[in-house]
Structures are given as structure tokens and as C-alpha cells.
Structure 1
């Protein structure tokens, strides 16, 4: 749609039906999927690639998704989880709900407090447009790509939300991965676990010989004691001294 390629109405109708009947989830949070669908609906309506009647349905569905995400917001401002929050923010921006929806301000504040979670190329790609007040629908404009340039790291202090589309340089730098100041000791034997590289970073697949299997719909979940799930992956989380981490084989 961003490149003005038409989509069959049958496909659009099936997505509308799936959203209407709440079938966009996969056993967990549906924020990511619903956000992508809402962005697609907004793109089709905005670029006039569908008829007037269908465009009205798409507009209503996108705004309905925006309201649904606002209702899914937790008390900490996060929508779904920290990685789905940028998707929800993109929907608020694309639909214009960012101007009136209180959840937008709260989610943006939560995002800025957790920028250290976005340390891979894939997760940075989700969050950088939001930090510049854009969604993926703004990537191509007038035949030119809108590129978000991440500045060189500078010392970062507290992050605060500013009511503009341009964020201070010290806020963007928090999304830049920093080298580990404490490299592992080569004399210490490696822990007994295995990971798999993915675009989102390493994925924990096996611990002490026990493997998470997709066909069994289970995965290794990381929590802090006593029972708080981590909002970032194993490559990004830095345990505190004396902290207890739990590796739990959970179902999805």
C-alpha cells in the first residue's frame, strides 16, 4: 500500500472480519498484529486505493483498533509489552489519535523510560519512527524515503517526554547499543544454555538440556523473583547485584 500497490478486496474483507471477531491474536497479546492491520487499513483509506464505502469501514476499524489499544494499556503506560508499545504508538500517530488520546502520552513516557530494551536493528526500526513523530506510513513520501538517523552515543541522564515531534539528542542515544564494559572472563566455563539468532536478537532455546519447542507451544520465559516477567530479551537485560532471575518453560 505504501508503494501504491493495490490489494484484493477479498483480502481486505478477511482482515476486517478477523479484527471484528477478535481473531488477530495467537494465544497471547494481539497488539502487534492488530497494530499492523490498523496501519494497513489507514494506508488503504488514506491513499484512496479502495472505494468510498470500504474506505469508511477501514477508517472505522482503524479507529476501533486505536481505542482497543488504549483500553489495553497497563498502569505503567505499556501497551501489551514494551516491544508492542511502539506499534500502538504508530497507530495513534497514523490515525491522529495522538492529539486527543491520553494513552498516547502515557505510552510515550513508558517508551522513553525503557529505550534500553531496543538494542537490535529490528526493534530500533520499530521505535525510531515513533521518536520522530512518524509511523511506517511515512517511510516513502514523494518518492523519497524518510530516514531516521541515530546520532553517536552521548552521556544520557533522565529521560523526559517533550510535546514535540523532535526529541533531544540525548534521548535518541538511549536506543543505541553500548559495548559491554564487563566482557566475560574466558577462564569461566560457559553456562549450559543455547540461543538462536533472530532479527530481534538472540532467542533462548535450551536450558540445562531442556529445549523449548514450537510444536509444543512452549518457550523459555525470563522473570525476576518472585513472578515478574521481563520486558526485554536476554541480550538486553542487565541483572542487578543480588537479583534473582527465573527461567521458566512456559506455554504460549
Structure 2
């Protein structure tokens, strides 16, 4: 009977893939290609990884984007390393991009203080700093998502990862201590940890860790196999990477309903952020970052052609969005609460809302830092919430933590926005 249940799940999954997903993934693929062509600023490695993991390609656009990664992103990392900045996340993503392009990461080097060393060497050094931070401060220098990314990048490159790094990650999983910006065991962090530990299990470098690896992976798998009534895992933005992790961990759960929800999200335009689009494209194809090891850069399809973009039709002047009242509460680290009110157009982003509030009220100030996900809130009313201090600004809309960035969340009516300096 159990075999029949598994077979039924497989048949339903195959039906989904053949009947619905092809057109959706093609659309997402083309959206990412346009983003790769037009996006300003530093290239986003996740976009390149999704394009390379796809079964369809536009070699000219992918090659141009890789060139930007190996020049613009490379130079940015070089500057950061020269300034002794901790950039383990970018080093990990750069490593995976090189793997996706069939390039040996050991051949890429950075020079710091006159000493030249490979990308892999710099990544190993920064992961050593992560390990020391866990041993002294009980948390990584960055966070467990980035820590897991570093383990994954080294593992995919065929590097024997320091056994203590794996042990620290397994211990954090077993003790349910993978906090991310104040959210205990967030779906994204659990998923990345699951992918990294699955890579280590498959590599087989530490056979004496096999049982512990199985226990940690089983715990993550059980958590991620829990879906909401709408079949999302975590939230709409966490579902793609959760699917990737379940695929990597070899879950037997029937994912067809979750994939339908993910497909519906993609078709409705939920994923506007390029990085979210990239994760959705990988998830819908039921692949994971582990598939980077299987990429063959020879004899690939070169079949995706971008149509000319259609100019949008301007809205009639009478459809000017109505104004909405937004209450903003800032909760500082000493629990002092400062409350403000601002009126913004319907559909405005939270970032636009904060900019309008700052322009109207001299008592409110804020700063942002650029990230691959877009602007990241770093300072509010003169107070920092820094990762190095184990703090972050937790954002809530009407009591619900935001799953989107401040440039992605849109004002759809009256809201109470809480900005809280949070320990994690």
C-alpha cells in the first residue's frame, strides 16, 4: 500500500510538470533574462545560478552576465577583502557561479596586502572566522543562512569542509537555534542548512558523521514538509527555497499541490524581486543548488529568444491612487516607542512611505544599505541594528512579520507598520 501511495504522488507530480509548468518556467526564465540585461548596480549571483540551472538558455545574455560577475562583482569583493570586510556570502555565491559556468574556482584569485590567494582559500579563511565566532559568541559572524551557504559552496567545489563547521551546523539544527533576524528557525535558513548538509552527506568525507547528518536532515525535512492550508511552506517567498531543499534532501512528500501554488504565485506576479524570481524558477523545475555539480556546459540548448518589450499603457488621470493613512511605530532597543502618521498613495512601497515620512517629519530619520534583495533598513532615528551585534530591524505590518523587502511591500490600505530593533 505504501508503494501505491508513493506511485500516486509521483504520477500527480509528473502530471503537474507536463501540463502546467513549461509555460510558467519559460516566462520566469525570460523575466530573469530581461533583468540580467537591464538591472543596474552589481550583478546578482542568484540570477545567474537560476539561468544556468534552467533547461533553456540564451547564451549571449548569460555570457554577458557572467562577465559582469567576474569583473564588477569580483572587483567589489576585492575591495571588501582589502578593507578586511566579512563577505562570506558573496564569496560563496561567486564560487557557485564559477561552478555553474564550468570554471575552476581555484583559478580565480584575490590579492590582499600583497599576498595572492585563490577564491577558495579566502572562503575557507572567512568560514574559519565564522567557526570562531560560534565558539566564542554562540552564533556565526554573519548568520546561519550565510554560514550554510559557505559550507555548500565549499562542498560543491569538492573541498573537504572542516568537520567542526559541519558539527556546529548540525548542533544548531538539533537545538533549534538557527535564528534569522529575530525569527527562530526561519524557513529560508532551515532550507539552506538542509541543502548544505545534504551535500556533505552525499560527499561522504566524514563517515563518522553519517548518523548525525541523517538526524539533522530528517529534522529539517520534517519541518519543511509541514505546509500551510494553501500548500505554501513558510510563506510565498520561502516556498521556492523550501522546495529546493526538499528536493535536495530526497523528500518523498508529494509536492504537486505546493508546486501548483508556486506556479499560481508566479503567474499572478507575486515574485517581482529578481532574486525571488530566480528561486521560483529553480523550485518550479524541482532542482536545487546540488544540481550545479551536474551542469555540462557543452551541447546546451540556446533556444530562448526575448521578444521586444511592450511599452505600458499610461493610466487615465482620473485613476490617480487614493491616499492611505499609515501609522509607523518605531520600537528602539530600550523599548521606547515613537509613533508617526503619514498619508501615502495606494500602491506605494514601504520604502516610499518612509521617505515621505522623513520628508514631512524631522523627528523621523532612516538609512538603508544596498543588498542583493534591494534596500535593507540599517538605521532608524539614529539607532543601528547591526548583524555583527546580533540585532536587526524586524518589520511588521498589522502585527504580521513582513516576508518582503521595504521596496517590495506595497501599501494596499491603512496599515500599522512596526519597526522594532530586535535581538536574534
CA deviation after TM superposition for structure 1 residue 248, in Å: 1.5
Q: Which one has a larger percent helix, Structure 1 or Structure 2?
A: 2
Is contact 1:221–1:249 with CA below 8 Å preserved after alignment?
Answer: yes
Task: Determine the C-alpha separation between the residues in 2 that align with 1:33 and 1:16.
Answer: 13
CA deviation after TM superposition for structure 1 residue 37, in Å: 1.5
In structure 2, the gaps of 5 or more residues are 1-154, 321-344, 346-351, 359-365
CA deviation after TM superposition for structure 1 residue 204, in Å: 4.5
Is contact 1:35–1:88 with CA below 8 Å preserved after alignment?
Answer: yes
1:101 aligns to what?
253
TM normalised by structure 2 equals 0.43
2:255 is the alignment partner of 1:90: no
* Aligned 1:74-223 pairs, distance under 5 A: 74-97=228-251, 100-102=252-254, 104-115=255-266, 116-141=269-294, 144=297, 152=306, 191-193=356-358, 195-204=368-377, 210=381, 213-215=384-386, 217=391, 219=393, 221-223=395-397
2:188 aligns to what?
32
Is contact 1:117–1:237 with CA below 8 Å preserved after alignment?
Answer: no
Is contact 1:219–1:250 with CA below 8 Å preserved after alignment?
Answer: yes
Is contact 1:66–1:88 with CA below 8 Å preserved after alignment?
Answer: no
Task: Determine the C-alpha separation between the residues in 2 that align with 1:44 and 1:125.
Answer: 24
- SS of equivalent to 2:404: coil
More relative contact order, 1 or 2 (CA 8 Å, 6+ apart): 2
Task: Determine the C-alpha separation between the residues in 1 that align with 2:304 and 2:210.
Answer: 36
CA 123–180 in structure 1, closer or farther in 2 if over 3 Å, else same: farther
1:250 aligns to what?
420
Task: Determine the C-alpha separation between the residues in 2 that align with 1:4 and 1:135.
Answer: 17
- SS of equivalent to 1:192: helix
TM normalised by structure 1 equals 0.67
Task: Determine the C-alpha separation between the residues in 2 that align with 1:80 and 1:63.
Answer: 18
RMSD (Å) for aligned C-alpha atoms:
3.8
Q: How many equivalent residue pairs? A: 214
CA 118–43 in structure 1, closer or farther in 2 if over 3 Å, else same: same
* Equivalent residue for 1:62, pick from 217, 220, 236: 217
CA deviation after TM superposition for structure 1 residue 203, in Å: 3.0
Task: Determine the C-alpha separation between the residues in 2 that align with 1:230 and 1:180.
Answer: 31
- SS of equivalent to 2:190: helix
